[in-house]
A = this chain, B = another copy of it.
Amino acid sequence: MSSVGTPDPNSGWLSDEELAETRRRLPLLYVEAVPVRVDGVGQVTEVGILLRANSAGAITRTLVSGRVMYGERLRTALFRHLEKDLGPMAFPLLPASPVPFSVAEYFPFPGSQFTDYRQHAVSLAYVVPVTGTCDPRQDALELTWMTPSEAASDTVSAEMEGGRGSLVRAALASLGALY
């Protein structure tokens, strides 16, 4: 438990020190979502990318993501992180299938496709249509809606944290919308 006696709600029943320790020992399980808008026949029209100030104060782009906690189902974790990052009125349509469109492996060392300096994380990535109004909370500054081709552009890709540009492209490819 943390020093103030209440568990950090984001630490999955681990104190901060325990989490730091575990991060050096085990791959952590994450879920990740690419929010999209779709038209009446399910065709993607826009992709939602979060704008966020990272811990070093730099502005960076990222996806909805977060850890799966002990005892938590994947779809519950996905819903929780969507609500945390997009607000309670986003009305996401969670996938009926638990099979992700991609599995991203983040390593804390350079040279890997996806990097996370804090840890080895394995992330199950889903495309999630949202039907309501997004109101980013916590540390996100804004959710930017882009066309598929903007979201897949080299410029946006280069701004995305940890190599997630290629995850956005893989999401679009899985939708038949990468050109």
Residues of chain A at the chain B interface (Cβ within 8 Å): 12-14, 18, 22, 24-29, 36, 38, 40-44, 68-76, 78-79, 93-105, 107, 113, 120, 122, 124, 127, 129, 166, 169-170, 173-176, 178-179
A/B interface sample: 17 pairs, CB < 8 A = A14-B26, A27-B70, A40-B94, A41-B73, A41-B75, A41-B78, A41-B79, A41-B94, A43-B96, A74-B105, A97-B176, A99-B99, A99-B101, A99-B103, A102-B173, A113-B176, A174-B174
- Number of this chain's copies in the assembly equals 4
Measured CB to CB, the nearest residue on chain B to A15 is B25
Docked complex Cα distance between A124 and B122 (Å): 11
Nearest 5 interchain pairs by C-beta: A42-B94, A173-B173, A170-B173, A41-B75, A98-B176
> CB distance A170 to B178 under 8 Å?
yes
> CB distance A175 to B97 under 8 Å?
yes
Q: Among the listed B73, B99, B107, which residue makes an inter-chain contact with A100, where contact means beta carbons less than 8 Å apart?
A: B99
Besides A99-B99, A166-B179, A169-B173, 13 other CB < 8 A contacts? A13-B25, A14-B25, A22-B25, A24-B70, A26-B69, A41-B78, A42-B96, A43-B75, A97-B101, A97-B174, A99-B102, A99-B103, A102-B173
> CB distance A25 to B174 under 8 Å?
no
Q: List, in ascending order, chain B residues with CB within 8 A of A127's CB.
A: 96-97
Q: Among the listed B75, B79, B178, which residue makes an inter-chain contact with A173, where contact means beta carbons less than 8 Å apart?
A: B178
Docked complex Cα distance between A44 and B75 (Å): 12
Give A9 Cβ to nearest chain B Cβ, in Å: 15
> CB distance A96 to B26 under 8 Å?
no
Q: Among the listed B95, B103, B104, which residue makes an inter-chain contact with A124, where contact means beta carbons less than 8 Å apart?
A: B103
Give A113 Cβ to nearest chain B Cβ, in Å: 7
